[in-house]
Amino acid sequence: MGYRLYRDAAFRFFTYRVISVNAVSKFFAIRRGMLSREKLSVKALQNVSLKIAAGEIVGLVGESGSGKSTLARVIMGLYRPDQGHVMFEDRDSRTMKKRDWLSVRRDLGIVFQDPASSMNPWMTVEQIVAEPIVIRRRDLSMSKPQRRDRVVEILEATGLTADHLAKKIHEFSGGQRQRIAIARALVLKPRYMILDEPISALDVSIQAQVLNLLSDLRKQYGFAALFITHDLSVVRWFADRVAVMYLGRIVESAGADKIFSHSRHPYTKALAMSKLDLDFENRDFYALPGEIPSPIDQPPGCPFAPRCERVVAACNSAFPPQSAESTAASTYHCFNPVVP
Ligand SMILES: Nc1ncnc2c1ncn2[C@@H]1O[C@H](COP(=O)(O)OP(=O)(O)OP(=O)(O)O)[C@@H](O)[C@H]1O
Ligand code: SF4
Ligand SMILES: [Mg+2]
């Protein structure tokens, strides 16, 4: 009996430690104009599937408006998908109650692009970092000294010290504020982090420091992460696997070591050809010719067709299905893929 309990616990540990997004679509209803009653539908996510395994860093890249933050918000439970669902290990978003969400969020650390926007300027650093513990005080039964010890431990791990505890957020630079935001996200030692452009609002000179910090913290705390960025060189360096989004769809995903050197989707290939350099002072962000189409009233077919050099007749008929040789780790959607 003891063995069976141990075996079942081990099975759960190794098998279910995964977040899986399953065929999720999210549409936003907007008005055609200020005075119009006519409603239009913004297709922010269409049939998106993605897995984040224990300890894995999944990079999510794509141009502005491609749906990266919407996907993050669906995973956090801030948006309810119109179609599809999210599995948190063995918990299903379609049947989860408020209490289940509270426990899932305990396992999700969240860092946004602009740390100041999510922090109360009147609170001290100690109050800000301890906030997730205070919200869950009934479940955690942590005494005040234990709480302070945890806050100091995490602050020190992010390069700050106990001397900062009583300070307010306006006394810190942008890089230090992002360290405080990371400390707050990590204070419950979550198993997953959602990092939505965590370095893009920072000065270029600070970006590498915060990125190195995230890399060290990942080794120390072993969290998995969804790392959202516009920046391919960063994702190539930091992520294990990369998913490329285009107009609300994941068009390709593969290992970070291969996706840009052996791209199959023409969009990924075009991104990979932009100048990439971890020297933050000295690089270009990708700029593809042509405009990303509107996410409203999309015509049938591949959304990349108006900008694609490899377009063939089939491309305008339907969205391309998953490639025949897809695996759990790598897939693409294209009728005329690049031959690597
Ligand atoms: N609350 C909302 N109401 C209406 N439309 C929205 C809403 N949130 C997002 N959208 C639209 O959904 C699409 C996807 O937006 P999203 O913010 O997810 O893109 P993103 O990839 O995160 O872009 P960025 O790189 O600029 O952060 C966009 O067309 C956006 O205008
Ligand atoms: S499906 Fe066609 S249009 Fe779309 S990326 Fe592939 S070749 Fe280009
Ligand atoms: Mg975004």
CA dist 157 and 214 (Å) reads 10
Buried b (16+ CB within 10 A) or exposed e, 273-306: eeebeeebeeeeebeeeeebbebeeeeebbbbbe
- Ligand 2 in contact with 199 (CB < 6 A)? no
Q: Which residues surround ligand 3, an ion (CB under 5 A)?
A: 68-69
pLDDT at 318: 93
pLDDT at 142: 87
- Ligand 1 in contact with 42 (CB < 6 A)? yes
- Ligand 1 in contact with 295 (CB < 6 A)? yes
The ligand 2 atom nearest the CA atom of 314:
2
**Locus of tokens 């939505």:** 196
- Ligand 1 in contact with 60 (CB < 6 A)? no
* 60, 227 contact by CB (below 8 A): yes
Q: What's the CATH number of domain 2-107+190-332, 3.10.20.600, 3.30.1550.10, 3.30.1370.60, 3.40.50.300?
A: 3.40.50.300
In sequence order, what DSSP letters do the residues of 137-184 get, joined into one string? HHHH---HHHHHHHHHHHHHHTT--GGGTT-BGGGS-HHHHHHHHHHH
The ligand 1 atom nearest the CA atom of 73:
18
Determine how many CB atoms are found less than 10 A away from the CB of residue 18: 17
Query: Closest-lying ligand to the alpha carbon of 313?
Result: 2
pLDDT at 109: 94
Query: Closest-lying ligand to the alpha carbon of 305?
Result: 2
Query: Closest-lying ligand to the alpha carbon of 61?
Result: 1
- Ligand 2 in contact with 127 (CB < 6 A)? no
**Smallest CA separation from ligand 1 atom 18, residue:** 67
pLDDT at 17: 66
- Ligand 2 in contact with 266 (CB < 6 A)? yes
> Any idea where the domains of the chain sit in the sequence?
2-107+190-332
If the chain, 340 residues long, is cut into consecutive pieces of 10 residues, what is the mean pLDDT of each piece? Answer: 48 62 95 77 95 95 92 96 95 92 90 86 96 86 92 97 95 95 96 94 90 95 94 89 96 94 93 61 57 80 93 95 86 94
Dihedral sign from CA coordinates of 172, 176, 177, 182: negative
